[in-house]
Amino acid sequence: MPDTRLPERFLTDRRLLLLDVQHRWSYVASMAWSVSNRTDGVVLPNELQLIPGFAGESPQVLIEAGLWKSRRSKGWEITDFAATQTSAHELEVLENLRRRNREAKARERAKNSGDEPPPQGDSQPDVSMTRQRDSTGRKEGRQEKAFEKGEPAEVDERAEPEQPPSPSPERSLSVVPELAATGTDPDSWPDTYDPSKLDLIGQTYDREY
């Protein structure tokens, strides 16, 4: 709410000092009422009763003192209003400026706190990856339920079967320390080993050994 300014010169203004206390109050109250209602110093006849403590005979007294002046249409105008108070247009400009400042600060706080909405444009989330994750999660959930009930797990026919990793030659020979020491020459193997259980071509050891 805007404030009414009472200049320091009002304390020494002879126009006010020559008034009775009642009419002096009528002048100050009319000034505050005009600022609050943004009438730019204009007071209409039917508005006099709306001004708190305004005396009915004050308009003529204030006109004679030079503090008010009559308007051509109807009502009165406070003489020094434009020189001492803020106009309705200026108040509107100030309010719009304060509103924009509040909105800018709110956006800045939201940005710093991480609550800023995601930017619009080309940087959109990968919908295909999201759907793939959702599908995988649903499939795993169904498999867990089937396992708890003792039912066979669901098989994805589109998925390629997993191939067991082939052991490396070094790992296969290390299963039998004696073979690793003698090498792959059958003549050097001990008589206790069965060569039929060894794949010499791939140099891998049969898992059933």
Per-residue confidence (pLDDT) for residue 173, from 0 to 100: 42
Please say which residue of 56, 84, 112 terminates a domain: 84
Please report whether residue 91 resides in a domain: no
Please report whether residue 123 resides in a domain: no
Please report whether residue 195 resides in a domain: yes
**What is the per-residue pLDDT across 129-150, written as a single tens digit (0 to 9) for each?**
555 555 555 656 666 665 566 6
Please report whether residue 173 resides in a domain: yes
135 phi and psi angles, rounded to 5 deg:
-65, -40
Please report whether residue 49 resides in a domain: yes
Element (H, E) at 34: helix 21-37
What token pair was written down for 207?
């898992």
Question: Helices 21-37 and 58-65, interaxial angle, to 10°?
Answer: 90
**What is the per-residue pLDDT across 163-195, written as a single tens digit (0 to 9) for each?**
655 555 444 444 445 545 555 555 665 565 555
- How many domains in the chain? 2
Q: Provide the CB-side half-sphere exposure for 97 (13 A, CA).
A: 6
CB atoms within 10 A of CB 116: 12
Range of the domain at 196: 169-205
Per-residue confidence (pLDDT) for residue 77, from 0 to 100: 96
Please say which residue of 62, 84, 106 terminates a domain: 84
Please report whether residue 68 resides in a domain: yes
36 residue type, one letter: S
169 phi and psi angles, rounded to 5 deg:
-55, -40
Please report whether residue 129 resides in a domain: no
Please report whether residue 64 resides in a domain: yes
Per-residue confidence (pLDDT) for residue 73, from 0 to 100: 84
Tell the residue number behind the tokens 């126009």, with chain if given. 15
Please say which residue of 64, 84, 104 terminates a domain: 84
